[in-house]
Structure 1
């Protein structure tokens, strides 16, 4: 098991959380399995940016993002060099510290 530290988010996780996650689990699945209801409008199919997270620690332990994910990330609100789509990033061997951005863009429901 690997630790996934979730920094406080006003709506989704006000106190933050420390989760024990099985290696290979996506960050999105780990959050959802632990009651942190991160938006995932495309049902985790790598077709939107609603599950965008910023990896504050442990980014280099993740496998590289595929081109499709990189293209979508360009549309994410608050993009940073260590941004990932949580539905695509799988927990590896190293502790991760993530931040869920304050806002998200849902292109489908917002008519973008």
Structure 2
């Protein structure tokens, strides 16, 4: 199991969380399975940016983003060099520190309206 530290997020995870994740699982699936309701408007098909996360530690352990993910990330709010779509970021053996951005660009929010 790989440790994934989720930094506090005011709405989704106010106290932060420490997750034990099976290598090979996506960051998005790990968050959802642990009660952190990150948006994933495209059902994890790499067709939106709502599951955007910033990998504060362990970024190099993730496989490289493919061209489709890179194109989608260009549209993400608060893009940083270590940004990934959590549906595409596959956990390896290296521990990760993940930050969920405060805002998301989502015109079809599953939660009942756009998030700010």
CA distance in 1, matches of 2:27, 2:4: 8
Q: Summarize the alignment of residues 32-47 of structure 1 with structure 2, pairs less than 5 Å apart.
A: 32-47=32-47
**Which residue pairs with 2:90 in the alignment?**
90
Tell me, what secondary structure is at the counterpart of 2:3?
A: strand
Q: 1:95 to 1:12 in 2, by over 3 A?
A: same
3-state DSSP of counterpart to 1:69: helix
Partner Cα distance (2:82, 2:12) in 1: 20
- Asked whether the equivalents of residues 9 and 100 of structure 1 are also in contact (C-alpha less than 8 Å), the reply is yes
The gaps in structure 2 that reach 5 residues or longer are none
How far off its partner does 1:93 sit?
Answer: 1.0
Q: Distance in 2 between matches of 1:24 and 1:11?
A: 27
List structure 1 runs of 4+ shifted beyond 6 angstroms: none
CA distance in 2, matches of 1:108, 1:20: 31
Residue by residue over 1:9-31, the C-alpha shift from the partner in whole angstroms, topping out at 9 and shown as x without a partner, is 00000000000000000000000
Structure 2 Cα separation of the partners of residues 62 and 46 of structure 1: 16
Query: CA offsets per residue over residues 30-89 of structure 1, 9 Å max, x none?
Result: 000000000000000000000000000000000000000000000000000000000000
Report the TM-score, using the length of structure 1 for normalisation: 0.96
- Residue number in structure 2 paired with 1:61: 61
Question: For 1:84, what is the secondary structure of its paired residue?
Answer: strand
User: What is the rounded CA distance, in whole Å, between the counterparts of 2:89 and 2:99 in structure 1?
Assistant: 14
Query: How do 1:1-112 and structure 2 match up within 5 A?
Result: 1-108=1-108
RMSD, matched Cα: 1.0
